[in-house]
Structure 1
Amino acid sequence: MSSPEKKNVLSPLPQSTSFTSLPDDLLMSCMARVSRLYYPTLSLVSKSFRSLLASPELYKARSLQGHTESCLYVYLASSYDNRWFTLCRKPDKTLTNDTSLNKKSSGYVLARVPFLHSPPAYFSCLVAVGSDIYNIGCKSRYDFKPSSSVLVMDCRFHTWHEAPNMQVELTSLSASVVDGKIYVAGNSCLYAKKNSFEVLDTKTKTWDPELPCSYTKHSFYNSRSSCIDGKFNVVACGDMVAYNSKEGRWDNVETRRGNYMFLDCYCEIENVLYSAPFGGFRWYDTEVRMWKQLKGLVGLGKLPLPGTVRLADHGGKMAVFWEENLGSQKMIWCAEIALERRKSCEIWGIVEWFDHVLTVPIGYKFVKALAATV
């Protein structure tokens, strides 16, 4: 009697391992390698993901693995609200054709930072140092009451905390960063020419004793500042002066450098000052002491008036934001431009992408764009 035939029984396939079932250390290591551009989308996956993305251990792992990156933030304000946004990747990865521009979607969008409350601020009082954004003075541009308060946004966890107050209450100020220190020039009286100058060491979280401000020709009220050649440059009433920290003195600087700084559409990138006045781009050549046209920029077209344009240093590239009004709403556009010095006297801009990244009510004003390292 022959033995019964053996049936071919297929063994069940092993179940695929869920990403969330990985050991915590391995999951943390994987997430640390993911670009911050995807974090707003990943936070929607589950509560455990949101908890992981907000953990200090994740950012320690990113730092140890060398995965920190430049992250763009923008601040918009209206008469009734203040909002922060950060540039990220769209949840939908599908690229859609835009026939009006004859191009594909970049896949970028501005996602709102989920603050319960955001303090008011204006262009010249916002600076970024490492993973922190400092709001010096903490008030709107139309608030003329003097203030000495300082608030800090930790861009890793999107939380605000207080920093040591300035030693002098100011009605108007301008701040810039030099070697990790925040230099602040301002005016402590609305109707009198009483200049003030202080320096915050962001490592020790202390303000240097009030420094003598020997520059008294013009008031620092409504001034603008920048950092070039390791010096703190201030434009006041058309004149530009620079503070030399090594020698502790103020030096006169060529006036032309500050010509386009009052328009709030300027930034410094790798020790070069850029501006976007009147629909075009300029950079300041310190050797010949004059503004020059930024060449290239193929496909970008002419930008609108300078009051609606903001520039930011995005990891050595130029991030450009501008507005387009549409009745009761406005569209926010963004472009990323790589900068290339082809000759000693020429800088070219290569447009890597540009796209519509946000739509907001018409009442919002684009105050500033800046980047933190996270």
Structure 2
Amino acid sequence: MSSSSEEKKLKQQNPTPTLPDEILRSCIAKLSKLYYPTLSLVSKSFRSLLASPELYIARSLSGHTESCLYVCLESSSGSRWFTLCLKPDKNKDDVSKNKNKKSYVLSKVPTLHSPPAVFSGLVSVGSDIYNIRSSSNVSVLDCRSHTWRKAPSLPLQLMALSACVVDEKIYVAGIHGESLKNSSKVLDTRKSSWNHVVSIPCRMTRRGVLNMVSVCVDGKPHVATDGRVVCYDSEGGKWDVGKTKMGSFWFSDSYCGVENVLYSVYNGKFRWYDGEVNVWRGVEGLVGMPKFLPGVSVRLCDYGGKMIVVWDENMLSSGENKIWCAEIELERRGGSEIWGEVEWIDHVLTVPIGYYIVKALSVTV
């Protein structure tokens, strides 16, 4: 018998072993989701496994859920979604020299027909990102399967709406288009139903204000309009005037709340605020972070108790827009100081000029 015939016979007797889906799923569930976009390139079966509900049930049961970053970019051609992942190591020599160095990239999310998005209408709840639009349409991006689904529409169309999340409920404040009066609604994401919230009294805001931002601080929804801040007391069912020193964040999209502290970038510098101190203070440390010049888009988000910063750098000579990202560990020292330690900074994406950063959000999967 020829050697080729023997090899063929051996292969038939001992076919290439494959792991059962249950075992493979159990192994992948223990990996950080930062590796998933790379794993999805292995094969169609891997892509199917990575999007399966069973995988995320296994992650939850094994205690391997984690915060994952998603970034929405907008251009004239529409919205594009990206997620943070680890860059595959291609150069073995570089790996051996920098064993502890990790490189990050933003990987395009394989989802179709992404609806238009604006900063104030995007919020995350659990593993979902809600896109609430002034047309009253509400779309939900499932960050496990990377598919869109419809949620119950807003009961009425709102102009200049803004949203924030408290205890898995999405509070939406805005201006009713016909009457130019304030209106507020709340979406209970557990029940998937809208409920009425008493409107912000007109005496607390200017009539027909078209600039609104919302944020959760101290477990309450806060809405800022033209520098005035009001907060909603769910137990009393009423809006109260917020802290007077808080209002200076309202005109910027460069803010987020992390563990009951509000952070903002103002004149290129990082600041923080909470209700106890009731004054804006600068964040100390932040060695390695640039000072942002006017015109630079900066987005902040809560990343499991840390802060993610995403910003752009226009390269006019090449017609490109570089997207940068940093992860910051926050530490409170005493009652009046917060220090930030930069854990990493990376150039994570390059896109043509014309793209801008809509928002960065963190989900739990």
Q: How does 1:267-306 map to 2 (within 5 A)?
A: 267-305=256-294
For structure 2, the 5+ residue unaligned runs are 1-9, 95-99
Contact 1:266–1:310 under 8 Å retained in 2: yes
State yes or no: 1:165 paired with 2:153.
yes
| CA distance 1:95–1:270, change in 2 (3 Å) | farther
Q: Which SS does the other structure have where 2:280 is aligned?
A: strand
Aligned mate of 1:127, from 123, 127, 130: 123
Q: Take 1:95 and 1:244, find their aligned partners in 2: how far apart are those partners?
A: 57
Question: Which protein is bigger by CA-based radius of gyration?
Answer: 1
Contact 2:245–2:278 under 8 Å retained in 1: yes
Aligned partner of 2:6 in structure 1 is none
| CA distance 1:94–1:343, change in 2 (3 Å) | farther
Cα-to-partner distance string for 1:160-205 (whole Å, 9 max, x where unaligned)? 0000011111122000001110000001127x53111000000000
Aligned partner of 2:109 in structure 1 is 113
| CA distance 1:124–1:96, change in 2 (3 Å) | farther
Contact 1:265–1:307 under 8 Å retained in 2: no
Aligned mate of 2:89, from 67, 92, 98: 92
Contact 1:106–1:355 under 8 Å retained in 2: no
Q: Take 1:306 and 1:35, find their aligned partners in 2: how far apart are those partners?
A: 35
Identity %: 58
| CA distance 1:39–1:31, change in 2 (3 Å) | same
Q: Which SS does the other structure have where 2:323 is aligned?
A: strand
Query: Residue 342 of structure 1: CA displacement?
Result: 1.7
Aligned partner of 2:327 in structure 1 is 336
Which residue identity does 1:199 align to in structure 2?
V
Q: How does 1:130-279 map to 2 (within 5 A)?
A: 130-137=126-133, 146-189=134-177, 193-208=180-195, 210-217=196-203, 218=205, 219=208, 221-279=210-268
Greater CA drift, 219-228 or 83-92: 219-228
Q: Which SS does the other structure have where 1:276 is aligned?
A: strand
Aligned partner of 1:58 in structure 2 is 55
Contact 1:277–1:306 under 8 Å retained in 2: no
Contact 1:274–1:281 under 8 Å retained in 2: yes
Q: Take 2:209 and 2:184, find their aligned partners in 1: how far apart are those partners?
A: 9
Q: Take 1:27 and 1:229, find their aligned partners in 2: how far apart are those partners?
A: 42
Query: Residue 260 of structure 1: CA displacement?
Result: 1.9
| CA distance 1:281–1:17, change in 2 (3 Å) | farther
Contact 2:225–2:250 under 8 Å retained in 1: no
Which residue identity does 1:265 align to in structure 2?
S
Q: Take 2:299 and 2:102, find their aligned partners in 1: how far apart are those partners?
A: 19
Aligned partner of 1:365 in structure 2 is 356
Contact 1:279–1:306 under 8 Å retained in 2: no
Contact 1:126–1:134 under 8 Å retained in 2: yes
TM-score, scaled relative to structure 2: 0.90
Q: How does 1:70-81 map to 2 (within 5 A)?
A: 70-81=67-78
Q: Take 1:77 and 1:173, find their aligned partners in 2: how far apart are those partners?
A: 19
| CA distance 1:214–1:337, change in 2 (3 Å) | closer
Which residue identity does 2:285 align to in structure 1?
G
For structure 1, the 5+ residue unaligned runs are 1-11, 98-103, 138-145
Contact 2:171–2:221 under 8 Å retained in 1: yes
Q: Which SS does the other structure have where 1:367 is aligned?
A: strand
Q: Take 1:294 and 1:319, find their aligned partners in 2: how far apart are those partners?
A: 14
Contact 2:184–2:200 under 8 Å retained in 1: no
Q: Which SS does the other structure have where 1:66 is aligned?
A: coil
| CA distance 1:345–1:94, change in 2 (3 Å) | farther
Which residue identity does 1:125 align to in structure 2?
G
Contact 1:95–1:107 under 8 Å retained in 2: no
| CA distance 1:306–1:285, change in 2 (3 Å) | farther
Cα-to-partner distance string for 1:31-61 (whole Å, 9 max, x where unaligned)? 1001100001001111111111111110110
**Aligned-CA RMSD value:** 2.2
Query: Residue 117 of structure 1: CA displacement?
Result: 1.4
Greater CA drift, 146-155 or 243-252: 146-155
Cα-to-partner distance string for 1:107-136 (whole Å, 9 max, x where unaligned)? 100000112211001001000000000001
Contact 2:243–2:275 under 8 Å retained in 1: no
